[in-house]
């Protein structure tokens, strides 16, 4: 994974800078990126011609009696979107989640305007389980709804 940290950090930071999908405001640097990615249960990448073009993180959504529920975040380089990398990342993540003993994948905060992600999750049989009105603050200060999704790993 160490060889991938710079590429993963670059792709992650692009989504953070966009301010329309990830809740984080702070970008990662080399050290914080290494620490952040090392703290995850699993990290996957999508490479094209030796360069990281997409990545995901997989980790528990909660602890103890809810520890069988996992969560993930996905990021694809803006110049590489629309080529199926996101779907491959999600499918790989679902397999890794099962391999790591999770029984449920839950997304807590899919921004309602992220239509591409919503379409992808629904095409893979994720179920909408609710909406949090005004749950995500956009860079301009206005708020967007967030959608919660659920997927039972089989």
- Report yes or no: 18 and 62 within 8 Å, Cβ to Cβ: no
Q: For the chain, list the domains and their CATH numbers.
A: 2-152 (3.40.630.30)
**CA gap 13, 77 in Å, rounded:** 10
**CA gap 136, 107 in Å, rounded:** 14
**CA gap 52, 91 in Å, rounded:** 17
Cα angle vertex 149, ends 28, 102, to 5°? 75
List alpha helices for 19-148, DSSP H: 30-38, 85-99, 115-123
- Please give the span between the terminal C-alpha atoms of the chain, in angstroms, as a whole number: 27
Residue-level pLDDT, tens digit, the chain, 154 residues: 678 999 999 999 999 999 999 999 999 999 999 999 999 999 999 999 999 999 999 999 999 999 999 999 999 999 999 889 999 999 999 999 999 999 999 999 999 999 999 999 999 999 999 999 999 999 889 999 999 999 999 8
Decide: helix, strand or coil at residue 93.
helix
**CA gap 136, 109 in Å, rounded:** 8
**CA gap 111, 128 in Å, rounded:** 12
pLDDT at 1: 60
């Amino acid at each position: 994974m160490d060889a991938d940290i710079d590429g993963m950090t670059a792709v992650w930071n692009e989504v953070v800078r966009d301010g329309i999908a990830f809740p984080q405001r702070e970008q990662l640097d080399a050290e914080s990126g290494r620490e952040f990615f090392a703290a995850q249960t699993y990290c996957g990448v999508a490479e094209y011609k030796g360069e990281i073009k997409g990545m995901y993180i997989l980790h528990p959504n909660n602890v103890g009696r809810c520890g069988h529920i996992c969560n993930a975040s996905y990021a694809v380089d803006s110049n590489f979107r629309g080529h199926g990398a996101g779907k491959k990342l999600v499918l790989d993540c679902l397999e890794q989640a099962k391999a790591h003993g999770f029984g449920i994948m839950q997304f807590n905060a899919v921004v309602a305007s992220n239509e591409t992600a919503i379409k992808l999750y629904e095409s893979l049989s994720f179920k909408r389980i609710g909406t949090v009105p005004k749950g995500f603050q956009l860079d301009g200060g206005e708020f967007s709804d967030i959608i919660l999704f659920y997927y039972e790993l089989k």
